[in-house]
Structure 1
Amino acid sequence: MPSHLARLGVFPIINCGSMRSFYGNTVALPEVVEAMAEAAQTHVIMEELKEAVSLRLAELTGFEAGLVTCGSAAALFLAAVACTAGNDPEKMLGLPKTFGTKNAVLVPAAHRFIYDHAFRLAGLRIVEVHSLADAAGVLKTDSVAMICYLGMREKAGAMPFNELARLGRANGTPVVVDVASEFLHRPNKWQHHGADIVIYSCGKFMRGPQASGLLLGRQDLIEAAWRNSAPQQAAGRCMKVGKDQMLGAVIAVEQWFAEDRFNLELDRCFDYLGTIEKELKEEPLLKTAFHQTTEWSVPRLRVSWDDMPASPHANLLRASLLKGYPRVLICDFGMTSSSFLIDAFSLRRDDCHIVAKKIVEFFRSGAHNDRPGDQLLMLNDLAGTWAVAIDFSAGREMHKFIIENSANGLDAVHSGLLFDAPMVVKGMLDRLEFTSKVPFEGVHLYYRFTGRPVSHGLEGDVVMGAASATNSGPVAAAQFGTAHWRAKRVDLSG
C-alpha cells in the first residue's frame, strides 16, 4: 500500500469498474510518470512549451494543432469561448456576457449530456434541434457560435454527422465533437468528416495524467482556446494546466501510437476477463457473458444471477467488496438488481484472481439474505401538501411534496424551484423514503429524501446527484452530497 495514502487513512481499490473521475481515472504509464517528474523539477516559459506541445500533438494525431487541458470538460469550455470570443479582449474578459454577438450552441436533442453545462459557463445558450432541417433553420436565423456533437451518440436520432458538419461549413460555424471516452485513432474519422475541434480524455485510455484532456483541431481555434486559458488572465484562468501535465500528456499520446496500444489494450482486456470468468464458473449461482457495445469500446464481462427474493442485490455486493483489504470496486454503470459489469481496463494481472475470489466468497458466505428496500411498506396517512425546507450549503430553499391516496397506493409530486416531477414514496412507521428523478437540461436530477415523523411534521436528510438516464447508479445519483430537510403539512382549507 502506498505509504502516503496509508498515512492519510486512504485505502486504494482494485478498480474493475471503469475509468471514471470518481475513481481516479486510470493509472498513468511509467513513461508518463517519469516525464511529469522531470517537468515538475524545472522552470519553462509556458508559451514555448505550449507551442512545442501543439506541434508535437499535430504530428502525432494529424490535426493542425493541439492543446492539453485540465480534463475534457474544460476542453468543452475552452472550445466554446474560442468560438464565441476568440482573442477579442473585450469579449474574452466580458464572459459570460456575450454582448449580443454569437451566443448560442446548436446541439442535436439526442446529444444533450451532463457536461454541456460548460457551454452555459461560457455564456452560450443551448439550442436543441431534432432534424437536419431544424439545424439548417437555426443556423440561418440564430446567432450560433458553434455546433456540438457527442460522438458516442452517433447512432442516436436522425442526424448523420457528415451532413451536420456540411451545414456548419456552409454557414461558417465551427463543429465540435466530444469523444472524451473513446479511443484516439489516426487517421481521425471525425476530422475527415468535417469536425473543426475534437475532444479526447488523456487520463483514461491513453493512461496520461489523470486530470488531462486534449483539444485537437483547427490552428486558429486551438490558438484562441490557449489565449482564453491559463496562464493568461482570461475566463479559463481557473482551469490551469501545469507543465508536468502538458509534458505527461504528450508522452502518453506518443506511447499510444508507438505501441499500437489500441489493439494491445483490447487483447489484454479479453485475456483478463477470460481469467476472471474461468474462476467465477466455480460458483454455480453465477452466469457470465461478454459484453461489448461497439467494436471501439472496451469489452466487459456481465456477471448475473437469478433475481429471486432470497438472492442478493448488486448494491449489497458492491458494498461488501469494498470492505476489508484488498478492496474491490465494481461500478454502478450498467448495474441491475441482479447483475453488474466487470471492466478489466484498469486491472493488473494479479488483480484478476483477487476479484474473482472475493465475488465467489460473497455468494458462498450467506451474508446477503436481506435485500435492501424489499420490506418497505406504503403509508397512506401522508396524503396532503407538504412545505419542505431544505438547508443547502448556500442557504435554505423551499420545495413542496404533494401526496394523494389512489387505488394504486400513493400518487406523489416533488415540486422544486424549476420543476414538478413524480415522486416515489415508501416507508414504515419509523423510516420514510421519498425519491424523485427530475429531467433537467440534458440530464436528470436525483433526490432521495430519508427521514421520520417528528412533532412538527417530517425530518431527515436528502442525498442529491445528477446523471444521464443510462448512468444513474448510486455514485452519480449522490455526487452533490447531502442536505437536511424538514417538512410541515400545509393546510389549504382556507
Structure 2
Amino acid sequence: MDEDIREDQRVEEPDSADAESGLDQPAGLDRLDRLDGLGKLDRVNRRTFIKVSALAGMAGAAGAAGIAASGCDSAGEMGGSSGGAGAGGAGGTGGSGSDLASAGGDPNAIAADLRDNVYTRLLGVRPHVGAHEHLSSMGGSRMPAEVMEAMAEANRYFVDMAELHDAAGRRIAEIMGAEAALVSSGAFATMLVGAAGVLTGSDEERMGLLPNPTWPKVECLFQTAHRFFYDNVFGLAGMKLVEAGTRAEYEAAITDRTALLVGLAYIEHQTRGVPPFPVRHRQEHDPETLMPLEIIEIGKRRGVPVMIDLASNLPPKENLTKYLEAGADLVVVSGGKGIRGPNSTGILAGRADLIEAARMQNAPNNGIGRGLKVGKEEIVGLVAALERYVALDEDEEITAWNAKARWLADQLQGIDGLEARYELNTHGYHDVELLWDEAVIPLSREDVDRLLRAGDPKIIYDGPGPRTLQLEEGEVQLVARRLRELFTTGS
C-alpha cells in the first residue's frame, strides 16, 4: 500500500483567530496537562518523563487551543447536537441530552506529533489515530498514566520471577473471585498453557511429552458457532480439535476422549442491559447455538472441564466474574484490551488444580510455555491496570464514549450521499455507522480504508464506521475533519 502523504491531505495549521477560539474538553475526559517544551529528556525529571511517555501517544502536545479551522461544524464546537443524524430513529442522535463540552486538545498539535514521534524517528513507522476497537494487531489499547508509572517503578528493582508470578496470580484471583490465576503473554498464551494443564494435570512426565501426548483423552470439543480464528492454539498444545454443529451432535460428541469444552463469550452479544439490544446489526443466532453458560452446564453435568474465552469482552466488567461464578473451570482474559494493561499480557483464572498444572508449564518454568515470558514490569502493569479497571465508573466511561460518537455523527451530516448514524452496537455503547451511495460518492469501503491510512493523519477504523472509545480529546476532531474532507472531495 502506498503510504506517501499527498500535499492536499496535510493538516493546515490554524490561524491566530482559530487558535484563540479555545474549546472545552469533552465530558468524561480528564484534561491533559500542557506538555510544551518537554521534547528533550535532559529537561525533565523522571516523574514528568513517565507522565509524558504515558500521555504523548494520547494527545501529543495537547494544549487548550481551538479547532475552528478543523472543517467540522460552523460553530467549531463539540457542544449541542445538530439532531441531524436521523433524529428520533434507531440511528439518530435526537439531540445530545446534555451539552457536550468541546475538546481542549489541539488537533493540529496531535497531527504534528503523529508525524514526529518515537516510531517515526527510530523505525520510520507511522502511528495512526485509532478509531477502532481494542485490537491486538493495532497495538491493543493505551495504558493509563498510573499503569505506566507502576511499570517504570517496577523497572528499578530486581525480583524473583516465580514469587512475582505467584503473588500476581493470588491478587488477580482475589479480584476475579477465582480459586487461582496466572499471567502469561496474552490470551493466546494463556489458552496454550491452560490446554496443556488440562491435558497433563501435574504429571511432569506427561508434560515432557507435549505437544505429542501418547494417551487417548486429548480431544477439545467446539460447537461450530464457537470456532475462532486462532483456536489452532489447542492443537499446538497437543489437543485434537473436534467440531459439532447442533446441540444433539455436541452432546453426542462428548466421549471418554474429551478433555476440554471451549466456549466463546462473544457469542452472547450482550452487556449489562437485558438482551437483545435494539441493534440493527445484531445477528440472531440459530436456536441450535449453545450459549457459554449452557456449555458450562453441559461440562458440569458430563464431568468435562470448560474454558471460556472472554478475551475482549470487556466491558462489562462483571464478565470478569460472571463465568467463574457460573462454574467455568478456566476463563481467559486479554490484559491489553478493555483492562488497558500491557498488550503482551493475558490472564488465566479458574480451578486451582488446573491453574497449578498450567503454572508448571508457564514461564519461567520449563514447560511448553517456557517461551511465553512476561517481564516483571508487564506483570506489575497488568495488576495495576486491573485494579484501576475494577474501580472505574463504567457508566460514566460509556457516557463519555457515547458523547464523542454523537458529536462525530453530527459533524458528518449534510454531505450529499452520506448517512452517518449514531448507532448502538452489540456491546452496549454507540459507534458512528457510515453508509454512502457509491453513485454519489464513488468510493468503495476499500478505497476509504486505503485513503484514510495514506492520509495525514493516518486514521484506521474497523467495522461499519469509526469508534470513539479510544479517541482522546482532539483526535475525534481530526477524524471528523478528515472524513468530511474525504466524503466531500473523494480524496
| TM-score with structure 1 setting the length | 0.69
Secondary structure at the aligned position of 1:246 is classed as helix
Secondary structure in structure 1 of the residue aligned to 2:232: helix
Between the aligned partners of 2:348 and 2:303, the Cα distance in structure 1 is 20
Show the 5 A alignment for 1:35-74. 35-74=150-189
CA RMSD, aligned part only?
1.9
Are 1:283 and 2:415 an aligned pair?
yes
CA distance in 2, matches of 1:324, 1:105: 45
Kept after mapping to 1: 8 A contact 2:224/2:245: yes
More strand by share: 1
Query: Which residue is equivalent to 1:327?
Result: 458
Q: Is the 8 A contact 1:132 1:159 kept in 2?
A: yes
Q: In the alignment, is residue 218 of structure 1 matched against residue 351 of structure 2?
A: yes
Q: How does 1:239-388 map to 2 (within 5 A)?
A: 239-260=372-393, 262-294=394-426, 296-308=427-439, 311-331=442-462, 334=463, 340-367=464-491
Q: Is the 8 A contact 2:443 2:490 kept in 1?
A: no
Q: Which amino acid aligns with 2:184?
A: T
Distance 1:358 1:158, change over 3 A: closer
Partner Cα separation in structure 2 for residue 112 and residue 122 of structure 1: 17
How far off its partner does 1:14 sit?
0.5
Runs of 4+ in 1 over 4 A off after TM superposition: none
**Who is 1:201 aligned against?**
334
Q: The residue matched to 1:227 in structure 2 has which SS? A: helix
State how far apart, in whole Å, the 2-side matches of 1:238 and 1:47 are.
Answer: 15
Do the aligned partners of 2:405 and 2:431 also contact (CA within 8 Å) in 1? yes
Number of aligned residue pairs: give it.
Answer: 357
Cα distance change, pair 321–23 in 1 and its aligned pair in 2 (3 A): same
Normalising by structure 2, report the TM-score: 0.69
| Structure 2: gaps spanning 5 or more residues | 1-112, 269-284
2:290 alignment counterpart: 159
Other-structure match for 2:264: 150
The reply on whether 1:236 has 2:369 as its aligned counterpart is yes
Residues 132 and 164, structure 1, Cα contact 8 Å, conserved in 2: no
Q: Are residues 137 and 313 of structure 1, via their aligned partners in 2, closer, same or farther at CA, if it must alter by over 3 Å?
A: closer
Amino acid at match of 1:41: R
Q: Distance in 2 between matches of 1:122 and 1:187?
A: 25
Check if 1:95 corresponds to 2:210.
yes
Q: Quick check: 1:161–1:193 contact (8 Å CA) kept in 2?
A: no
Pick which of 154-163 and 42-51 moved more: 154-163
Code of the aligned partner of 2:348: L
Asked whether the equivalents of residues 61 and 186 of structure 1 are also in contact (C-alpha less than 8 Å), the reply is no
Partner letter of residue 207 of structure 2?
Answer: M
Cα offsets for 1:292-321 (capped at 9, x unmatched): 343x44431101111327621122122222
> 1:117-128 counterparts in 2 under 5 A?
117-128=232-243
CA distance in 1 between counterparts of 2:341 and 2:404 reads 22
Which deviates more from structure 2 when the two are superposed, residues 58-67 or residues 231-240?
Answer: 58-67
Instruction: Report sequence identity in percent.
Output: 32
Structure-1 separation of matches of 2:251 and 2:184: 32
1:149–1:176 contact (8 Å) kept in structure 2: yes
| C-alpha deviation, 1:249, in angstroms | 0.7
1:256 Cα deviation (Å)? 0.6
205 and 160 in structure 1: CA distance in 2 versus 1, 3 angstrom threshold = closer
Match of 1:80 in 2: 195
Alpha-carbon distance in structure 2 between the residues aligned to 1:44 and 1:299: 43
Q: Superposition pairs for residues 427-466 of structure 1, below 5 Å?
A: none
1:172-183 alignment to 2 at 5 Å?
A: 172-183=303-314
1:80 to 1:298, Cα distance in 2 relative to 1, 3 A: farther
Question: Alpha-carbon deviation of 1:247?
Answer: 0.9
The 1:310/1:160 distance shift into structure 2, 3 A limit, reads: closer
| Residue correspondence of structure 1 range 14-25 to structure 2 within 5 A | 14-25=129-140
Deviation per CA, 1:101-134: give whole Å up to 9, x if none.
3211011111111111000001111111234433
Distance in 1 between the 2:346 and 2:451 partners? 34
SS at match of 1:231: coil
Please name the residue that 1:406 is paired with: none
The CA distance in 1 between the partners of 2:342 and 2:325, in whole Å, is 28
Q: Note if contact 1:279-1:353 (Cα within 8 Å) is conserved in structure 2.
A: no
Q: Hey, what's the Cα distance between the residues in 1 that align with 2:456 and 2:440?
A: 30
Q: 1:87 touches 1:228 (CA, 8 Å); kept in 2? A: no
Q: Distance in 2 between matches of 1:349 and 1:51?
A: 39
- Contact between 2:136 and 2:336, CA under 8 Å: does it hold in 1? no
- Name the residue aligned to 1:468: none
Partners of 2:322 and 2:467 in 1: CA distance: 26
Indicate conservation of the 8 Å contact 1:291/1:300, yes or no.
yes
- Shift in Å, 1:178: 0.5
**CA drift at 1:33:** 0.8
CA distance 1:114–1:193, shift in 2 (3 Å): same
Alpha-carbon distance in structure 1 between the residues aligned to 2:212 and 2:230: 20
Q: Which residue of 1 aligns with 2:49?
A: none
- Aligned equivalent of 1:4, options 118, 121, 138: 118
1:336-355 Cα distance to aligned partner (Å, 9 max, x none): xxxx3111111102111110
